[in-house]
Chain A
Amino acid sequence: NAGVTQTPKFQVLKTGQSMTLQCAQDMNHEYMSWYRQDPGMGLRLIHYSVGAGITDQGEVPNGYNVSRSTTEDFPLRLLSAAPSQTSVYFCATRPHQNYGYTFGSGTRLTVV
């Protein structure tokens, strides 16, 4: 039982490049979310999904896309990376709305 798996753990991108951060879970959780963590800012919600085929925007969605074709996977796509997207990205899942999150170990992204 791996829980929530995020790949890669580290990534350096050049401005304008695109990439996909992967998140996979094996707990059959319906709810999945992407947060970014910046120093002194706490965690801010980027996008979330309440089930396969359903996604919605969070607090800071600009520059990011998501899709949810299966229950297990919730990839986050950076369309054209900018230095402001340098951050640590966390994927979090929960079985339903009234429940705590299980977090992945994070992806540290640097955009130069």
Chain B
Amino acid sequence: AQSVTQPDIHITVSEGASLELRCNYSYGATPYLFWYVQSPGQGLQLLLKYFSGDTLVQGIKGFEAEFKRSQSSFNLRKPSVHWSDAAEYFCAVGWNYGGSQGNLIFGKGTKLSVKP
């Protein structure tokens, strides 16, 4: 069965420090991949997505993510974190195979706290 793992439940970084949030998926077929961000009490906002092509994708708010097929990973990065980045981040993965309709499976989320 397909699954998406975000190994870190909670991460705290200092403002201005770099950030990497991890995401791994299981299943052999080529996936398409997303990162979403959720501020408290809000819906989910799409940060970036990967379907094919260049494995390093740029998103909004200065985020980027790299797809590594050999590691089944799609880690989210930001070179310098701002206090406003404090939120919960969700990795989501979909697969095109018969019957799936490409429905997304979400990881359980990583909560990011930012220290001043």
A interface residue numbers (CB < 8 A to B): 31, 33, 35, 40-45, 48, 50, 56, 58, 90, 92, 97-98, 100-106
Contacts and interface: CB of A to CB of B under 8 A. Distances in A.
Interface in B1-53: 4, 9, 32, 34, 36, 42-46, 49, 51
Given A98-B102, A103-B36, 8 more contacts: A31-B101, A40-B108, A42-B4, A42-B109, A43-B90, A56-B101, A97-B102, A101-B44
A41 B1 CA distance: 17
B104 interface: yes
Interface of B: 4, 9, 32, 34, 36, 42-46, 49, 51, 90, 92, 96, 101-109
A97 B32 CA distance: 11
Contacts of B32: 98
A67 B32 CA distance: 28
Nearest to B9: A40
**Which secondary structure dominates chain A's binding surface?**
strand
A43 B103 contact: no
B46 A58 contact: no
Given A43-B90, A97-B96, A58 B103 contact: yes
B101 A42 contact: no
B51 A98 contact: yes
A50 B101 contact: yes
A58 B104 CA distance: 10
Given A48-B101, A98-B51, A100-B34, A90 B43 contact: yes
